[in-house]
Amino acid sequence: MIKNWDEFLLPYEQAVEELKTKFKSIRREFRVMNEYSPIEFVTGRVKKISSIIEKARRKSVDPECVEDIAGIRIICQLVDDIPLVVEHIRSRNGKDMEIVVERDYITHMKESGYRSYHIIISYVVHTAYGNKKILAEIQIRTLAMNFWATIEHSINYKFGENMPEDLRKRLIDSGEIASKLDEEMSKIKFEIVDSQEFFMTRSALVARVIKQIQTLFFSGNVEKAEITQLQEEFYHIREQGNIEELKQLNKKLELMIQKLYLD
């Protein structure tokens, strides 16, 4: 019997925050490198007290044995990203987390039509009162799987066991459509990854060029007319969208700045 739920939930809240930060930072690292990230976004939540009590009762276990009190959801764009994220988590096994069990509901879709890859981990939280080992669930799924699961979850919540048969069938059918969408997206994976990397590289270059023109301007050692000319050159290239010309302009500005500080 849990006397103080706030105290009981504290390490789970901390675990959710820490795990969210850890997986979000992987995405950030890819972005800094202008590379496609297998992680699109990360969310997390601590299960509601009423749901913990209900689940513990249903499974005849103590609340701390409920595996998903702390839950992290990692959303990927493509199905092919999922094994990469799973491998990444496996590579952390025995380091900052321990894998307890993996459940592949993608190869083995649930009867409801639910698809996702689940990994239950045990995770140590360092608190002011010492270390506490807790269980956490990581769900890895695509945007399409997430769309389907979110809608199905809310319909399920409303109807529970009493879901009308035709609605259940429609949900199973729409799950198949979501699965088909994932398949189709996988077929154009190269174009998706390539265009997103192109977009990130171009944005990073644009930001660098603007910063370098500012550096030249604020140095006070470049004629105003020359700055205006560089700006016009930049606007012209940006509108044309030619990345090679943008790279050349960036290089030219780098050299101008180097020269400025060498002289």
Query: In what order do the strands lie in the sheet containing 41-46?
Result: 41-46, 70-76, 130-142, 117-127, 98-104
Tell me the closest approach of the beta carbon of residue 247 to ligand 0O2, in angstroms. 27
Q: Is the CB of 116 or the CB of 212 nearer to ligand 0O2? A: 116
Q: Who contacts 143 (Cβ-Cβ below 8 Å, separation ≥6)?
A: 40, 75, 76, 77
The CA-to-CA distance between both ends of the chain, in Å, stands at 75
**Closest C-alpha among 169, 192, 115 to residue 146:** 115
Which residues are tagged catalytic?
A: 137
- For residue 110, give Cα distances in angstroms to 28, 51, 84, 149, 213: 33, 21, 22, 11, 56
Tell me the closest approach of the beta carbon of residue 47 to ligand 0O2, in angstroms. 5
Interface residues toward ligand 0O2, by CB under 6 A:
20, 40-41, 43-44, 47, 55, 67-68, 71, 103, 110, 112, 114, 118, 149, 152-153
- Helix, strand, coil tally for the chain in percent (to 5): 65, 15, 20
Tell me the closest approach of the beta carbon of residue 111 to ligand 0O2, in angstroms. 8
Tell me the closest approach of the beta carbon of residue 200 to ligand 0O2, in angstroms. 13
User: What backbone torsions phi and psi does residue 121 show, to the nearest 5 degrees?
Assistant: -120, 155
Q: Is the CB of 55 or the CB of 252 nearer to ligand 0O2? A: 55
Q: Within 13 Å, how many C-alpha atoms sit on residue 101's CB side?
A: 6
Q: Is the CB of 11 or the CB of 175 nearer to ligand 0O2? A: 175
Q: Is the CB of 79 or the CB of 256 nearer to ligand 0O2? A: 79
